[in-house]
Structures are given as C-alpha cells and as structure tokens.
Amino acid sequence: MDRGEDSAMTTTLNKVPQITIYFWIIKVLATTVGETAADLLSTRLNLGLTITSYVMSAVFVAALIFQIRANRYVPSIYWLTVVLISVVGTLISDNLVDGLGISLVTTSVVFAAILAAVFALWYRRERSLSIHTIVTTRRELYYWAAILFTFAMGTSVGDLIAETINLGYGPTALVFAGMIGLVAFVHFVIKADAIVTFWVAYILTRPLGASIGDYLAKPVIAGGLGWGTITTSLIFLAAILLLVVSLTVGRPNRIEQAGAAA
C-alpha cells in the first residue's frame, strides 16, 4: 500500500465496531444463533442442508454487499451480516461432515489451515491484522473471509470436542469460556499483543456459542436442556436485536490516524 492510500484513509470511517463488552456479548449471541438457526432451517423446517445452504448463502451475500457499500459502521447492517455469516459458516461445516461424510478432525484441520492462509495473505498485503483500520474494500474482504472461516472452523472444533470426544455440550461450553477467560488474562494482565489476543478470543467464541446453542436446544436425552431450535433462536435473536437497537444511537467510529493504529 502506498503512502497516498494511507493518507487518504485518515478521515475514513472504520467499518468495524469498537471492541467493547457489547461487541463480545453480541458476537457470542450471534454464534449461538448461527448454530441453532442452521439446524432449525435444515432439519426442523425440512429444507435440507443443500437448499438451506443455497438460500442462506444468497441472503448473506446480499447483506455483505450492503455492508461493503456502506461508508461507515452501521450496527444493523454489520450485525445482520455477522449473524448470517455465522449461519453460513455452520452450514459449510455441516455440509462437509453430514453431507459428504468428512470427519470432524479433517474439517477442523482444513478450516484452520485456510484461516491461517487468509491471515497470512492479509498480513502480507496490509502489514497488519488490526480491525481498527478496516477502511478499504480490500481490507474488509480479508476481514470477512477470516470471519467466515473462524465460524466454519469453530463449528467443527466445537462438535469434535462435544461429540467425538464425548465431553458433552455444557462442559464443552465451560471449557471454551475458560479459554477465553485465559486469553483475557493474557491480554489485560500480561499485556500480550492486542491483535493476536483479539483474534484468538474471536476464534474461541465460535465453538463457545455453538456449544451453548447445542446445550440449550438439544433434547435432554442428548445432553441438552430441550429448549428446541425455534425457542433458542428466537430468544437469542431478540437479545441481539435489543442490543443492536441500543447501539444505533452511538456515534460512528472515526479514525484519527489510520497509519498509527494499523
């Protein structure tokens, strides 16, 4: 990237929200909806994985176009895109595992490799993985590609631990919650690199949300609470809507020095 582009970015609005406690709460809620909504559409409504994947992918692409075309962070558009990419990421994993019979170990490793490649390409091109300067279309595309594969990988890893290792949905959620707590400790107390700890925590929230969704929605006989995918999805969608509406009154995120924050 040349200096002219860096200079042009100094007054551009960032396309990603500030990282606050609300960001993390909505992120976990969205990942939970991604798990339960995918199951609801493909199984409970009898659409099947293939049709559900086509429909949700089309809706996600439409939302992503609106997100990319926006010239600033718009809470409603951004979080709608996150919810939809969560569903699509879940469906990608489910199609490979349930549809094609690929093992969870294989999908977990493959998605991790793809995610690492996305990060490597992003860093090679932009020299930073900071989400505080998502101010160009290219950076935003890297950002959403990374998020897509955090969701896909998180789904596979969460299912692998909960089902293959037979730990159970509730204990699995506690394991990932503890891991996120450890990352927070490393970030705030040990003062580890903020960008690294952010992405590690972001990746871990996906299996956390997936495990929470499964624990709430799965029948008691399968180790869940038996709420069902409809009830769980509606409750979490309502919570997301409430928080997003409250955030729309906030001011957009401006960047004083994009080059300094990168």
Whether residue 27 has pLDDT greater than 50: yes
Among 14-18, 95-99, 162-166, 224-228, the minimum mean pLDDT is found in 162-166
Task: Please state which of the ranges 14-18, 108-112, 257-261 shows the lowest mean pLDDT.
Answer: 257-261
Residue 238 tokens read as 């309502």
Distance CA 262, CA 165 (A): 40
CB environment 10-49: b (16+ within 10 A), e (fewer): eebebbbbeeeebbeebbbbbbbbbbbbbbbbbeeeebeb
pLDDT for residue 194:
93
CA–CA separation, 246 vs 209, rounded Å?
Answer: 22
pLDDT beyond 60 at 215: yes
This prediction's pTM:
0.86
Distance, CA of 140 to CA of 96 (rounded, Å): 27
- Phi then psi for residue 13, to 5 deg, are -80, 135
**Does the structure show a pLDDT above 90 at 106?**
yes
Q: pLDDT for 44-54, tens place per residue?
A: 777 888 899 99
Distance in angstroms (rounded) separating the CA atoms of residues 111 and 104: 10
